[in-house]
Structure 1
Amino acid sequence: MASFAMNITLERIALFQFTPAHCAQARAMLGWRVEELSEESGVGVEAIQRFEAMQDIPDTARLSLAYRFESEGLVFFPGFAPGWGMNVKGSTPNPVGRTDYAMVE
């Protein structure tokens, strides 16, 4: 039961932190068009456009968008532009060449 409650709490946090402005900014950071985000997230183009226009969309669609961006290494905090997380996907093109490679694995 605790894991269900934890999931609900995490979803509420994600919904609070991920704003329409974040969506547009994150798309720009990744160089994705609305159509690409739709394909990547499974959320319809019209829903993304409505969300970015600050209209309501289902919570499940918002979560899908937020989680898709988070899987690319982006993090979201209210009042701030999206940022890259500490463990950014693709931040080191060739990790084997790093001096601390043994610690990466």
Structure 2
Amino acid sequence: MPNSAMRNTFERIIINQFTPLHCAQARELLGWSLEQLSDKSKVSVPAIQRFEASERVRDVTLLALAYSLEAEGLVFFPGFAPSWASNFRGTTPDPMGREDFALIE
């Protein structure tokens, strides 16, 4: 599988399984405020609030949130709270290389 196809596959998986509840639970687990997650992910506080309220955000915004939380050693599976698993770091591709990165909310 070509690298770009694999990246797109991983991005689709993250986009479909990283939920607003995961985001809120991960912040709580890490002891992070909205501002701390915003600083780490480069996503605005209002966009994080919208996502956690189950409102639509751009895919690149969602990937930036998942990437920053996963970089701390958290993993996300549908139907389960986030958990620690340092061997999974890097599963979510760094969204910085995406063409739409400038559109991050």
Pairwise same-fold verdict (TM > 0.5): yes
Unaligned runs of 5+ in 2: 90-105
Per the normalisation by structure 2, the TM-score is 0.80
Q: Which has the higher contact order (CA 8 A, sep 6+)?
A: 2
Distance 1:16 1:79 in 2: 12
Q: Does 1:65 align with 2:65?
A: yes
Displacement after TM superposition at 1:34 (Å): 0.3
Larger Rg: 1
The count of residues paired between Structure 1 and Structure 2 equals 89
Displacement after TM superposition at 1:88 (Å): 8.2
Distance 1:68 1:86 in 2: 13
Displacement after TM superposition at 1:41 (Å): 0.3
Identity of aligned residues (%): 58
Per the normalisation by structure 1, the TM-score is 0.80
Q: What one-letter code is carried by the residue in structure 1 that aligns with 2:13?
A: I
Q: Deviations over 1:36-59 (max 9, x none)?
A: 100110000000000000000000
Q: Does 1:9 align with 2:22?
A: no
Equivalent pair of 1:25/1:81 in contact (CA under 8 Å): yes
Q: CA RMSD in A?
A: 1.6
Displacement after TM superposition at 1:87 (Å): 3.4
